[in-house]
Structure 1
Amino acid sequence: MSIRGTVSSPSPSPSSTPTPVTPGATGVGGSRRRRSLGPVGLVFAGGVSVQFGGALAVTLMPRAGALGVVTLRLLVAAVGLLVVCRPRLRGHSRTDWGTVVVFGITMGAMNGLFYEALDRIPLGTAVTLEVLGPLALSVIASRRAINVVWAGLALAGVFLLGGGGFAGLDPVGVAFALSAGAMWATYIVFSARTGRRFPQADGLALAMAVAAVLFLPLGVAESGTKLLDPVTIALGAGVALLSSVLPYTLELLALRRLPASTFAVLMSLEPAIAATAGFFVLGQALSVMEAAAIALVIAASMGAVRTQVGRGRADRPKRD
């Protein structure tokens, strides 16, 4: 789960288009592969940053509570994005503002639900359940028979993850994670709408501010003066940096040279990255069954993304 740079995914500019390569010892294909390694590495680094930021947030929860951590993350990220983006406040219609407000509400709900899940179930499990939201959105959007396979793989993964009934997991935590996944799917929809109405990352910065303002009373109610502790503030700033500011910047740079389809496939790896972060930072080891479950959900997510991309290509008019 993340607050990512999906609001305004820049199209490759003419200056970023790879220049023709004279065939030589390495060949054009080898040159293109090397060119793609840079943006892929940036996306992967962003994913690592997000999930290790989530692990850091878990360690902060005993000090500030789940809602307190969300409040600190959103506030710091909002201030940082507003300073960097300096979004224009004039010249927008009521529909524009309505869209960005709903986007901010969705963003806040997504984060709040996810952090409540992290307070109850392991990081890798929470991310795996949460990614079912975007996966369901991708399956529904593509409308192809092969989606039955991807949905079956995902359900099999969820069944394994729950050990046949989620007896070993906190049911409230599971419910929070699944609800966060539904909000993530909604986030994707309103991210695209906001990106069409606001230039660059202005919409993201404004939506982040909306989410921070809405969550501030909840964070204060749960944590009170704990939010004023210097160590808590510093750790909260670290969570915001790792989970929002740094990955957004890395992915924004990557999307200038990386197809959106490739980006979506890489996002499918987040449950595995989350499980790794949970193991190294929180000591949350996976059983063989849990690892197999995560692998199935990742495979289903990748398959759904590739199916959707393939359908988009098939629908394009062909030149004679």
Structure 2
Amino acid sequence: MSSYKSHPLVPILSVFGSITFLCLGTSLAKHTLFPLFGAQGTTAIRVGFSALLLLAVWRPWRQAISRTDAGTLICYGVALGLLNLCFYLSLRTIPFGVAVAIEFSGPLAVALFSSRRPLDFAWILVAVMGLGLLLPMGNTVSELDPVGVMYALAAAVFWAGYILCGRRMEHLHAGHSVALGLAVAALVVVPVGLPYIGTALFSPWVFAVGLCVAIASSAIPFSLEMIALKRLPPQAFGVMISMEPALAALLALVLLDERLSSLQWLAIGLIALASAGSSVTVRRTGNSSPGSRTSFAE
């Protein structure tokens, strides 16, 4: 068992598995829950079930926290809830892979703007070029819905806020922080989504699908990311997690039949390249990286 845990492929497969399950969970939610409950109801089910699941696993009430940490946790949870809500609202009108790429600009900006070296600004330029190909400015060939893009950009802002709050809680137990943050997030988004669900929330089918989405998009990615973070340098982890926008677009093509133009694929590639490059060159403190969710994002 010890030789298995120390195998060099374990952290690599863990990162790949984390991204895959996260994208599969989101694709499942969009395919099965979106037609019935819309973005608001889907967000409520996903965040609500994930909160219940992680609260049951980690039981964070066993450890007391200070008043300052409680305030930070509330901000963290609010950002997490609004991040998920805005991201799912963006999926109503723009492709999954494009939404992930735009959303990825949030953590990328946090990583890049924490440094002032010339090479880091080069990665900012690459990311801006990618976003410029995606954003529907004037008569572009991408023809993305402006409202969907705005929701994805809002999700990027909330993801950045989520990371900044998360860094202020690095001294706390990671599982406890995420579980409590999700509980706060549920208090934010469940009241918004509940009217879209109605009595269907008590349906065994909704319960089963919601549980599957929660497991695929939070419990499994969280566990796999923790394995990878303990065995990979932050730079290597950041490079590997940068695959997420491209992998999301590929899975959306296979599972949701969402086809992108060549320019949209190029834009996603530029954003992934900027994220991977920044992971190598940006000097960071701690184990944070551009794409790290500290377990849970979209």
- TM-score of the aligned structures, taking structure 2 as reference length: 0.88
Q: CA–CA distance in 2 between the matches of 1:299 and 1:169? A: 22
How far did 1:168 drift? 1.0
Match of 1:23 in 2: none
79, 84, 91: which one aligns with 2:52: 79
Q: CA RMSD in A?
A: 2.1
Match of 1:248 in 2: 222
Note if contact 1:68-1:227 (Cα within 8 Å) is conserved in structure 2: no
Tell me which amino acid in the other structure corresponds to 1:132.
S
79, 102, 107: which one aligns with 2:75: 102
Q: CA–CA distance in 1 between the matches of 2:256 and 2:218? A: 20
Match of 2:191 in 1: 217
Match of 1:4 in 2: none
Match of 1:177 in 2: 152
Note if contact 1:63-1:232 (Cα within 8 Å) is conserved in structure 2: no
Match of 2:10 in 1: 38
Tell me which amino acid in the other structure corresponds to 2:103.
E
Q: Any idea what SS the aligned residue of 1:195 has?
A: coil
How far did 1:90 drift? 5.3
Q: Structure 2: any 5+ residue segments left out of the alignment?
A: 286-298
Is it true that 1:48 corresponds to 2:20 in the alignment?
yes
Question: What pairs with 1:132-211 in structure 2 (closer than 5 Å)?
Answer: 132-162=105-135, 165=138, 168-196=143-171, 198-211=172-185
Q: CA–CA distance in 2 between the matches of 1:162 and 1:217? A: 31
Q: CA–CA distance in 2 between the matches of 1:127 and 1:73? A: 17
Q: CA–CA distance in 2 between the matches of 1:143 and 1:230? A: 53
Q: Any idea what SS the aligned residue of 2:260 has?
A: coil
How far did 1:71 drift? 1.1
Tell me which amino acid in the other structure corresponds to 2:23.
Q
How far did 1:223 drift? 2.7
How far did 1:194 drift? 2.1
Tell me which amino acid in the other structure corresponds to 1:185.
A
Note if contact 1:142-1:307 (Cα within 8 Å) is conserved in structure 2: no
Per-residue deviation, residues 101-158 of structure 1 (Å, max 9, x unmatched): 1111111010000000111110000001000111111110011111232122112212
Tell me which amino acid in the other structure corresponds to 2:151.
F
Q: Judging changes above 3 Å, is the alpha-carbon distance between structure 1 residues 214 and 160 closer, same or farther for their aligned structure 2 residues?
A: closer
Per-residue deviation, residues 193-245 of structure 1 (Å, max 9, x unmatched): 2232x224111111111111222211112332233333222222221111111
Give the aligned length: 280
Q: CA–CA distance in 1 between the matches of 2:123 and 2:174? A: 34
Q: CA–CA distance in 1 between the matches of 2:63 and 2:107? A: 33
How far did 1:265 drift? 1.5
Q: Judging changes above 3 Å, is the alpha-carbon distance between structure 1 residues 237 and 99 closer, same or farther for their aligned structure 2 residues?
A: same
236, 260, 275: which one aligns with 1:262: 236
How far did 1:77 drift? 1.1
How far did 1:89 drift? 5.0
Q: CA–CA distance in 2 between the matches of 1:54 and 1:161? A: 21
Q: CA–CA distance in 1 between the matches of 2:250 and 2:186? A: 29
Q: Any idea what SS the aligned residue of 1:141 has?
A: coil
Q: Any idea what SS the aligned residue of 2:65 has?
A: coil
Q: CA–CA distance in 2 between the matches of 1:71 and 1:151? A: 34
- TM-score of the aligned structures, taking structure 1 as reference length: 0.82
Q: Structure 1: any 5+ residue segments left out of the alignment?
A: 1-15, 19-33, 313-320
How far did 1:53 drift? 1.2
**Most deviating of 80-89 and 292-301:** 80-89
How far did 1:164 drift? 5.7
Larger radius of gyration: 1
- % identical aligned pairs: 39
Q: CA–CA distance in 2 between the matches of 1:194 and 1:75? A: 22
Note if contact 2:238-2:275 (Cα within 8 Å) is conserved in structure 1: no
Match of 2:289 in 1: none
Q: CA–CA distance in 2 between the matches of 1:155 and 1:92? A: 40
Match of 1:9 in 2: none
Tell me which amino acid in the other structure corresponds to 1:222.
Y
Match of 1:128 in 2: 101
